[in-house]
Structure 1
């Protein structure tokens, strides 16, 4: 541990002052209490008939068409085949690129 020039190497540098309250001067004027917040102003309630009358009622929801589950399954199978094909082609291209890079490093 380094010590300030001319100081002793004990812990006197890190000790608290003797009495910090005695060193502080008394306040020149008393501190006023903080003002109290009364809250937001109260809102007046709306008059009884303040909403406009509703004349149009929306129609009830219509029935959705039935789903063709076998056709959906066939479409999902086709999409899965395309996804696997694209993944295999991308994987093969990456293997070729890695082989080319490794051959450049070795030879």
Structure 2
């Protein structure tokens, strides 16, 4: 007994302009979070270095 799988369903259409806009927003958020993390790490390293020197 051989069963045949159902044919694949048709995918809904995609709004490529909206997808591009969302991707740009996500990239901006990622860069912002990275910049904030880098600034915090820089401040911590500066504090640790000044504490070690004095």
TM-score, L = length of structure 2 = 0.86
1:70 to 8, 12, 17: 17
Q: How many positions carry a matched residue from both structures?
A: 54
Q: Which runs of 4+ in 1 moved over 2 A?
A: 56-59
Report the TM-score when normalising by structure 1. 0.46
Q: Answer with 1 or 2: which has the greater Rg.
A: 1
The answer for the alignment partner of 2:49 in structure 1 is 102
Specify the SS of the correspondent of 1:101.
helix
Asked which structure has the greater RCO (Cα within 8 Å, sep 6+), the reply is 1
Unaligned runs of 5+ in 1: 1-52
User: Which stretch shifts more, 58-67 or 75-84?
Assistant: 58-67
User: Which residue does the alignment assign to 2:28?
Assistant: 81
The structure whose residues are more often helix, as a share, is 2
Q: Offset at 1:105?
A: 1.4
1:68: how far off?
Answer: 0.8
In structure 2, distance between residues paired with 1:91 and 1:62: 46
